[in-house]
């Protein structure tokens, strides 16, 4: 009978770090346990050596310099401008007014744990998190937020999400939103869709610059004109309301002025313009008209037929929304087409030139009067 060595008793596996040939460390273990430990460290605020004064109402939030600086380059520049500051014992404070406390806590939780959950977050909070992640140069977090926002695109949210994509230069979100708009252009890009009023001038420009919209130019013009009228009304009515509230504030007694100030702050929290800036109402109105003219100049008026151009010129309310040179250039281009000539070099407004766009035949474009 052959002799057999006794088998060693099995032991529980030990997670150890092993060294590769290149010298990197491979750490074994459960990442969930590590994340929970880091989250507890953040929640219990133990051993904190820095303080953030966050939000308009200034709420104190505590953190650890070494963790924040190592995970976020923007935080590193803010927390450790000098190499010797890491060893300072005194607790430092940093003012961050342009981020709300709940958003900053969300960002800090990601920095500490590298985890994120969007389950209970409304869209407006996601937008603020995206803005904060870009502000603090947390590009991985920004990509995660963008991916989640893309999953939310539908008929009701696409315009608002396009606003976000254009404002924060999110290429992927902008591309996906525009693809959805092109696919659903017949339902989205018309004057009967009140949802277009949420578009910012920059987002409307993005739509009108597209060469792939399967909508004829007259429909796009009506849609853009409806947006422009609503945009101007919103801007000018807010200016008038500000004047009315200011006059009431001047006539009110000192005990009533604080309540007036609060109501003004709530009313004029709109993102389109800052109504407590030193810009005069006249300049604000002029700025609003410049924005409208910039948008309307992207309509390819040379794709309209002469009858449609005449109807537009006959309507004074529509003419005030359009830069005069756009209509003049459109007539010149149509004349050149009729005479088989070429446009001269004086036509510098390229957006009034005919360019490729998927539009219906001219026989189907006469959809009634404007």
CATH number of the domain within which 97 lies: 3.30.710.10
Look at the chain and report how many structural domains it folds into: 3
Q: Which residues pair with 60 in a beta bridge?
A: 53
**Is 368 within a domain?**
no
Determine how many CB atoms are found less than 10 A away from the CB of residue 327: 17
pLDDT recorded at residue 368: 42
The vertex-341 CA angle with 336 and 347, nearest 5°, equals 55
Determine how many CB atoms are found less than 10 A away from the CB of residue 1: 3
pLDDT recorded at residue 367: 42
**Is 165 within a domain?**
yes
Structure tokens at 259: 């309540």
Give which of 191, 194, 192, 200 is closest to 177, Cα–Cα: 200
pTM score, two decimals?
Answer: 0.69
Q: Which residues pair with 171 in a beta bridge?
A: none
Residue in the structure block whose two tokens are 């926002």: 149
Separation CA 265–CA 276 (nearest Å): 9
Separation CA 67–CA 75 (nearest Å): 10
User: Which H or E run contains 26?
Assistant: strand 25-26
Q: Are residues 164 and 300 in the same domain?
A: no
pLDDT recorded at residue 4: 57
Q: 123-135 and 158-167 helices cross at what angle (nearest 10)?
A: 10
Structure tokens at 230: 């609503």
Q: Are residues 136 and 105 in the same domain?
A: no
Separation CA 29–CA 31 (nearest Å): 6
Q: Are residues 216 and 297 in the same domain?
A: yes
Q: Are residues 211 and 352 in the same domain?
A: yes
Q: Which residues pair with 26 in a beta bridge?
A: 18
**Is 257 within a domain?**
no
Q: Are residues 142 and 71 in the same domain?
A: no
Q: Are residues 148 and 163 in the same domain?
A: yes
Give which of 52, 74, 78, 70 is closest to 112, Cα–Cα: 70
Structure tokens at 44: 């219990």
Give which of 222, 228, 230, 227 is closest to 368, Cα–Cα: 222
Structure tokens at 204: 């409307």
Q: How many Cα atoms sit within 13 Å of 182 on the Cβ side? A: 17
Q: In what order do the strands lie in the sheet with 59-63?
A: 59-63, 50-54, 92-96
Q: Are residues 32 and 127 in the same domain?
A: no
**Is 17 within a domain?**
no
Q: Which residues pair with 59 in a beta bridge?
A: 54
Q: Are residues 152 and 38 in the same domain?
A: no
**Is 137 within a domain?**
yes
Q: Containing domain of residue 162, as a range?
A: 120-183
Q: Give the strand pairing for 50-54 and 18-19.
A: unpaired
**Is 66 within a domain?**
yes
**Is 254 within a domain?**
no
Print pLDDT tens along the chain (370 aa): 555 555 655 554 544 444 444 555 665 677 788 888 888 988 888 888 889 999 988 889 999 888 888 888 888 878 776 555 544 545 578 888 889 999 999 999 999 999 888 888 898 899 899 989 988 999 999 999 999 999 999 999 999 999 999 998 889 999 999 999 999 999 999 999 999 999 999 999 999 999 999 999 999 999 999 999 999 998 887 555 445 544 444 444 444 434 433 333 332 333 444 434 556 788 888 899 999 999 999 999 988 989 999 999 999 999 999 998 998 888 888 887 766 655 554 544 444 444 556 444 443 444 444 4
List the beta strands (DSSP E) in 85-174.
Answer: 92-96
Q: Are residues 129 and 108 in the same domain?
A: no
Q: Are residues 317 and 237 in the same domain?
A: yes
Q: Are residues 43 and 60 in the same domain?
A: yes
**Is 230 within a domain?**
yes
């Amino acid at each position: 009978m052959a002799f057999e060595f006794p088998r060693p008793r099995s032991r529980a596996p030990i997670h150890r770090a092993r060294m590769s040939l290149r010298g990197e460390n491979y750490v074994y273990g459960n990442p969930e346990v590590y994340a929970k430990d880091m989250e507890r460290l953040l929640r219990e605020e133990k051993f904190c050596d820095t303080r953030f004064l966050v939000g308009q109402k200034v709420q104190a939030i505590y953190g650890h310099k070494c963790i924040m600086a190592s995970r976020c380059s923007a935080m590193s520049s803010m927390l450790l401008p000098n190499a010797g500051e890491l060893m300072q014992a005194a607790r430092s404070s940093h003012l961050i007014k342009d981020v709300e406390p709940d958003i900053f806590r969300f960002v800090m939780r990601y920095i500490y744990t590298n985890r994120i959950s969007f389950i209970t977050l409304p869209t407006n909070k996601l937008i603020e998190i995206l803005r904060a992640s870009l502000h603090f140069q947390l590009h991985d977090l920004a990509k995660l937020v963008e991916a989640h926002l893309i999953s939310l695109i539908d008929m009701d949210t696409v315009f608002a999400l396009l606003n976000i994509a254009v404002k924060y230069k999110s290429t992927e979100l902008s591309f996906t939103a525009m693809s959805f708009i092109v696919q659903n252009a017949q339902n989205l890009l018309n004057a009967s869709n009140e949802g277009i009023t949420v578009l910012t001038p920059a987002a409307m420009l993005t739509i009108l610059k597209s060469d792939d919209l399967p909508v004829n130019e007259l429909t796009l013009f009506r849609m853009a004109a409806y947006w422009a009228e609503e945009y101007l009304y919103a801007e000018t009515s807010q200016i008038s309301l500000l004047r009315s509230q200011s006059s009431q504030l001047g006539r009110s007694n000192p005990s009533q002025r604080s309540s007036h100030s609060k109501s003004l702050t709530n009313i004029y929290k709109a993102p389109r313009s800052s109504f407590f800036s030193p810009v005069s109402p006249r300049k604000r109105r002029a700025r609003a008209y410049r924005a409208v003219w910039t948008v309307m100049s992207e309509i390819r008026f040379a794709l309209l037929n002469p009858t449609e151009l005449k109807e537009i010129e006959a309507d004074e309310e529509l003419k005030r929304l359009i830069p005069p040179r756009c209509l003049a250039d459109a007539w010149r281009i149509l004349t050149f087409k009729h005479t088989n000539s070429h446009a001269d070099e004086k036509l510098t407004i390229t957006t009034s030139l005919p360019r490729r766009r998927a539009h219906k035949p001219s026989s189907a474009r006469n959809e009634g009067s404007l």
